[in-house]
Amino acid sequence: MTGRTAQTFAPPVVEAYSWLEGKDFSQRALINVSQAAPVAPPPAPLRAHMAKVIEEDDTHLYGAVLGLEPLRAELARHSSSLYQGQVTTEQVAITSGCNQAFSAVVATLCRDGDEIILPTPFYFNHKMWLDMSGVRCGALPCQGDMIPDPAEAARRITERTKAIVLVTPNNPCGVEYPADVIQAFYDLAKSRGLALIIDETYRDFHSQSGPPHRLFEQEDWQDTLIQLYSFSKAYRLTGHRVGAVVTCETRLAEIEKFLDTVTICPSLLGQKAALWGLQNLGDWLAKERLEILARRQAIVDHFPTLTAKGWRLVGLGAYFAYLEHPFDISATELAKQLVEEAGVLALPGSMFLPEGDDCGRRHLRIAFANISAEMIVVLFDRMAQVSQ
């Protein structure tokens, strides 16, 4: 194949699932910590609402390309309150998932040969879309605490750079970028005439209460900031594909072209569910956040089981723990060995890095949001038994 899809790699989660083929987990259940998606259904009250609106005629029709206006308005109000800024309905679009929001934004920013800076390790679907769009990924390596350095980003900007991307809380590393670091990236992007794309898919599970940054307080934020969001994690609506982008009205007019061409409109059922969630599930979501934070604490409390075997906890937050293993083999080899010997499916760090970058050789990502605190103990006990 010679088309644009040939310019990128195969979907990493699909590859990881192929490692399970032919394996028997009847005696020891698989612990799947590979994918960052809720496996439980939406809460019962939301499902009841969805069952009701499925009977409404307009649920099955085309909707507005940029999404249901009541949902756009509610998200604008919610965002204005959370970030203590001013976001209007006209600055919000609803998309078929957050991945589509990213793809649409890139289409408005870049031509073939342009560049977008991604901190590495990156969210692999971002890199895949850049590859298929003919856009160069300007890698910004993160080391140590896995927080990207604005000064280093400034040194890597070229005449073809169009944007900088931040994902916080981060996927895959889990780290929460400090507000002052986010502000520094905003100031850098603004001073160089670039867009700052900030993907906050996991913001509902941030350990800090209150706004995670102050960017929406900037009077002219819409000239620089493009925010991405997903309802998938907050309300367990992964299969209904409902995301959002917040940006200036001029860019939304361009995004509308992309969305109309690709999906025409987001799912009406998913949008109605997201709207009801925003209006009615605040207390439920607050409890979900506390549960995720409890599991995060369980990682901290029980990680000494792995520390004693030479492992290191590199990053932690939201849905993810990012680990460094002590063995003289690649993370990919170790991930396959974990399936065989421990009944654990995790993703190697190499899946989140450019080809040829060996920094991920020692790293594994654990998506812990779908396992209980008790299962985290079992997970670490199993992993500790694997040796070289």
DSSP states of 209-271: -S-S--GGGSTTGGGTEEEEEESHHHHT-GGG--EEEE--HHHHHHHHHHHHHHTSS--HHHH
Q: What is the pTM of this model?
A: 0.96
Host H or E run for residue 306: helix 304-307
CB 88 within 8 A of CB 76: yes
CA neighbor of 297 nearest in space, from 282, 270, 317? 317
Query: How far is Cα 364 from Cα 190, in angstroms, rounded to an integer?
Result: 35
Q: For residue 179, what are its two tokens?
A: 């507000």
pLDDT, residue 358, reads 87
> CA 75 to CA 204: how far, in whole Å?
13
Cα 323 to Cα 59, 297, 306, 316, distances in angstroms: 44, 15, 10, 9
Measured CA to CA in angstroms, residue 182 lies from 148, 177, 179, 188, 271 at distances of 10, 7, 5, 10, 29
Asked if 302 contacts 294 with a C-beta cutoff of 8 angstroms, the reply is no
Which of 358, 51, 317, 297 shows the shortest CA–CA distance to 203? 317
Q: Two tokens at 378?
A: 């079992």
Cis peptide upstream of residue 169 (ω within 30 degrees of 0): yes
Would you give the distance in Å from CA 260 to the centre of its chain? 24
pLDDT beneath 70, residues of the chain: 388
pLDDT of residue 359: 87
Q: What pLDDT is attached to residue 36?
A: 82
User: Before 121, cis peptide (omega within 30)?
Assistant: yes
Asked if 40 and 353 touch (Cβ cutoff 8 Å), the reply is: no
pLDDT number for residue 388: 61
What percent of the chain clears pLDDT 70, i.e. is strictly above it? 99
What tens digit of pLDDT does each residue of 211-250 get? 999 999 998 999 999 999 999 999 999 999 999 999 999 9
243 CB-near residues (< 8 Å, 6+ apart) = 94, 95, 96, 97, 98, 99, 100, 101, 228, 229, 230, 231, 232
Q: What is the DSSP string of 45-74?
A: HHHHHHHHHTTSGGGGS---TT--HHHHHH
User: Mapping DSSP to helix (H, G, I), strand (E, B) and coil, where does residue 365 land?
Assistant: strand
pLDDT tens-place string over residues 161-178: 999 999 999 999 999 999
**Which burial class, exposed, middle or buried, applies to 210 when counting CB atoms under 10 A from its CB (0-12, 13-18, 19+)?**
exposed
In which residue are the tokens 């000064």 written? 151
Helical (H) or strand (E) element with 140: strand 136-141
Side-chain-facing half-sphere of 152: CA atoms under 13 Å = 14
d(C-alpha 199, C-alpha 168), whole Å: 6
From the list 131, 189, 143, the residue with the least C-alpha distance to 164 is 189
pLDDT score recorded for residue 352: 95
